[in-house]
Copies of this chain bind each other. A is one copy, B any other.
Amino acid sequence: MKILIIEDETELSKSMVTYLHRESYTCDTAFDFDEGMQKIESFEYDCILLDISLPGGSGLKILKALKDNNKLDGVIIISAKDSVEDKIAGLNLGADDYLPKPFHLSELSARIAAVIRRKWFQGSNVLVYNELTIDLLAKTVSVNNKPVDITRKEYDLLLYLASNKNRVISKNAIAENISGDSADLYDNFDFIYAHMKNLKRKLTAAGSDDYIKSVYGMGYKFTI
């Protein structure tokens, strides 16, 4: 799952990245208004953490832009505790959640998990596709109720495709989702092939159907 952190305090931003990375999220960062706008325009994110007070322009303007582009789902406002008007303005614009500074990273992580569940999984913790289930809380994948031993990248890959079922997902999108930073340019997708092969092998060996189809020249599609 991919998160954009728009926050000018570099120390805070850095510790968020570290913590969230350990929680299996991949993070992008933006440190001012312009960079924030640029990232939201060029990439897709599962969750956006948005500081209101930013150099170069108010975060509320970014929020407005997100709203106009129908990308409000998954936005969490973070802002100084006393800015009540920021909170009201943010929630009025339709942000999903509001977290006053200072906050504990575990709290942030819990809010992100809730937002993502709401956005992608109708608030549920478990995705079920016939014999295949993905448990978001336990971070496990099972086939016929037997857990499958899966690595983190494989899990990310499966979750990403499954949460976009019936859609063709480009390899660029996959690379950005399961790998580090959107700034990276990928000259080849060999690593995707490798993960895909291992994932498929493990799932089918466990008795699952192969729900992931490759779409020649386009990407991959999870179809139930």
Contacting B at CB under 8 A, from A41-55, are: 41-44
Integer count of this chain's copies in the complex: 2
Taken together as a complex, chains A and B put the C-alpha atoms of A33 and B41 apart, in Å, by 28
Known: A18-B185, A185-B105. A139 touches B172 (CB 8 A): no
The 10 closest A-B pairs by CB, nearest first: A152-B217, A138-B167, A139-B168, A105-B184, A42-B103, A42-B104, A42-B107, A15-B185, A104-B184, A43-B104
- A7 contacts B by Cβ under 8 Å: no
- A208 contacts B by Cβ under 8 Å: no
Against B, the Cβ 8 Å flags (1 = close, 0 = not) of A120-131 are 000000000000
How many residues in A have their beta carbons less than 8 Å from beta carbons of B? 43
Taken together as a complex, chains A and B put the C-alpha atoms of A152 and B138 apart, in Å, by 26
Known: A171-B22, A172-B22. A44 touches B138 (CB 8 A): no
Residue of B nearest to A107 (CB): B42
A137 touches B42 (CB 8 A): no
- A182 contacts B by Cβ under 8 Å: yes
CB-CB under 8 A from A44, the residues of chain B are: 106-107, 110
- A83 contacts B by Cβ under 8 Å: no
Known: A22-B171, A22-B172, A168-B140. A41 touches B217 (CB 8 A): no
CB-CB under 8 A from A138, the residues of chain B are: 166-168, 221
B218 touches A139 (CB 8 A): yes
- A170 contacts B by Cβ under 8 Å: yes
Which among A105, A171, A172 has the highest number of chain B CB atoms within 10 Å? A172
- A73 contacts B by Cβ under 8 Å: no
CB-CB under 8 A from A168, the residues of chain B are: 138-140
Residue of B nearest to A43 (CB): B104
Taken together as a complex, chains A and B put the C-alpha atoms of A172 and B215 apart, in Å, by 28
